[in-house]
Structure 1
């Protein structure tokens, strides 16, 4: 408005000064308006070189791999104070493979009605409200089991050589979900529901509302050096003809800190209907699918120095009605060059019997009945 009212004879220098004053005023005003809002760009770039033997294709393999201790990702998170202690919040997070630049979460479901899902923000994409320790969010979100695994698996549910190798659901992400989290002192209560947890199979089905349904709940207690959590989830099959088939999990886990050592222990119960789809890759043994398994794990992290951490853990899967009960042992050394950059070396050994096929990177990645050793050396930077 200043420029519109000014005479055409105003000196160029005066115009410049007026413009500078106006720009400064706008800048200050914007700063005041957005003082209670924030948007953060963040990410992790993790890459390493892995050598494994007895691959499912036969022989050994040496390769460069992305996302070892942490899945490589970039994201945006933000919050806006809308008054009365309430905030509007959001998070968008995209996974990628740093070794070749491809997206990490594009998937295709199984069955006749499956669809290819190209996910721009495949790790997370949600929006919601928070109010005095309580939060309600909607979108594609981490499952409650995933959050528990990150906190109570000694390997932090890392992309490789962790509890995720024995159960894909320990890194579950749920489409079309509503999620509640309430913090009440040392106790955190959570509940989650989805109208169709995997959009790789298409949208919700009219007249068949239980197809692809998901619900879950969790309670976590943390006080001083001790923390513990229990959770439950149920998934219905993603195809209409088999939608009464379910996959149910319950978990219990705890951790305790003694000086520089943090110990962990956990248990996961699994029951799956024979009709459940997708076919459960967790408990494959002798070329067939079992319907029940118990998973146990225990381990510890030792802070040798503030910059050097050593982690050791073991996982055992008891597959019902078969002797194919594999176990996985993992040892990891992680050295921090700075707060943002670390170098790591991880070694894993998967032991199979009765033709079970657990590899260090998950089921089906080793020749059935063969043991597998894997070693990864890599670098991770956070920003």
Structure 2
């Protein structure tokens, strides 16, 4: 829903009348100096029924779940033309669980004095400037690897049954961050830095500036049907006593669009110090000093008809210093009732050995050493 200074006539059939009135009021309050200024209200409501077996409790579970192909959300994004090609931009995005109405991104840190961080706009909250393909923004923002995963994971880094099940960082948001994005023809260059990437552990620590530090960089090339990307990130531990501990990732991925079929492939390198906090989930899941792993994946999307899409993908995690190397296979059928509404069915199968514990929804969600199958049937509506 886009509101401008010209006050576009509202759709009489819209079900979002209250949202229209609220956003219109915000737009009017902003002034009338620039005719191209605008605020957009948008969102996604995604909910389904999931059944999984071999849970950590030892049995199966059937439940209603929110955010399957897409995290349920609502948000506001805006732009103001400042003249000379310069624009002020912002985004505020709230994640929520549609099945019970709770927020989706509140966090609690670890250690002796953990902090519970309640987030109204937990998905995104940033403001910045843009100028002719260059953009500089500050706030809570998606990590660069998250942006790469959305583009190069066949499942689009969906909330369930995707690359996110293998690595939590593939859907990371970074607090207290500054991000630069520059587009130079087919090449996009990005850099990101944070003084404290997770405020669930508190604010920046005076005299210990590397505590909770984060930095990252990415290059993406896209022309015609081909696209490829490389990215790197490093996090320092969130406690002063262990702040020299790091978690480092590098990722390379590519895609090629053949028309009806789009193919994907990628690789992720991971190294984590033993004293890194939060503790790397690979270490916890395998009960060993397995602080290094390589992730490989490949898959494809097939548009059977303009309204029906099939997605198939496989992920393999090679965990160093152990033979507990799990893999995850996913098949998703998505039928589009319209441009904004679709019905889907997703099946995931996680294969574990030597006491590994990868579930279809991530490490530690299955009884160690057991395989797990998950099935989700749901509906998604975008506005």
Offset, 1:287: 2.3
Tell me the residue number matched to 2:110: 110
Bigger Rg over Cα: 1
More deviation, 285-294/48-57:
285-294
CA drift of 1:260 comes to 0.5
Q: After superposition, where does 1:325-364 map in structure 2 within 5 Å?
A: 325-364=325-364
Aligned length: 356
Match status 1:307 vs 2:284: no
- 2:324 counterpart SS class: coil
| Alignment pair present for 1:298 and 2:298 | yes
In the other structure, the counterpart of 1:272 is 272
Aligned to 1:134: 134
Instruction: Describe the SS at the equivalent of 1:139.
Output: strand
Q: In the superposition, relative to structure 1, how do residues 183 and 96 fare at CA in structure 2: closer, same or farther (>3 Å)?
A: same
- Paired position in structure 1 for 2:36: 36
Alignment of 1:159-198 (within 5 A): 159-198=159-198
Which runs of 5 or more structure 2 residues have no equivalent in the other structure?
Answer: 1-27
CA change 1:164–1:381 in 2 (3 A) is: same
- Give the drift of 1:36: 1.4
What is the CA–CA distance in structure 2 between the aligned matches of 1:173 and 1:111, rounded to whole Å? 21
Find the residue that maps to 2:281 and give its secondary structure. Answer: coil
Aligned residue number for residue 51 of structure 2: 51
Q: Separation in 2 of the partners of 1:171 and 1:200? A: 16
Find the residue that maps to 1:154 and give its secondary structure.
coil
Q: What is the alpha-carbon distance in structure 2 between the residues aligned to residue 45 and residue 329 of structure 1? A: 26
Deviations 1:320-369 (A, max 9, x none): 00000000000000000001000000000000000000000000000000
Q: Pairwise CA RMSD of aligned residues?
A: 1.4
In structure 1, what is the Cα distance between the partners aligned to 2:115 and 2:210? Answer: 19
> 2 CA distance for matches of 1:32 and 1:126?
23
Q: Secondary structure at the match of 2:35?
A: coil
For the Cα contact (< 8 Å) 2:149–2:170, is it kept in 1? yes
Q: State whether structure 2 residue 213 is matched by structure 1 residue 209.
A: no
Contact 2:303–2:310 (Cα < 8 Å) also in 1: yes
Q: Which residue of 2 aligns with 1:10?
A: none
Note closer, same or farther for the CA distance 1:109–1:322 as it changes in structure 2 (3 Å cut): same
1:112 Cα deviation from its structure 2 partner:
1.8
**2:78/2:89 contact within 8 Å kept:** yes
Deviation at 1:286, TM superposition (A): 3.6
Between the aligned partners of 1:286 and 1:251, the Cα distance in structure 2 is 23
Question: SS of the counterpart of 1:275?
Answer: coil
CA distance, structure 2, for counterparts of residue 283 and residue 40 of structure 1: 42
1:379 aligned residue: 379
Q: Secondary structure at the match of 2:280?
A: coil
Q: Distance in 1 between matches of 2:286 and 2:192?
A: 35
Q: Moved runs in structure 1, 4+ residues, more than 6 A?
A: none
Q: Given the alignment of the two structures, is residue 246 of structure 1 paired with residue 220 of structure 2, yes or no?
A: no
Equivalent residue for 1:60?
Answer: 60
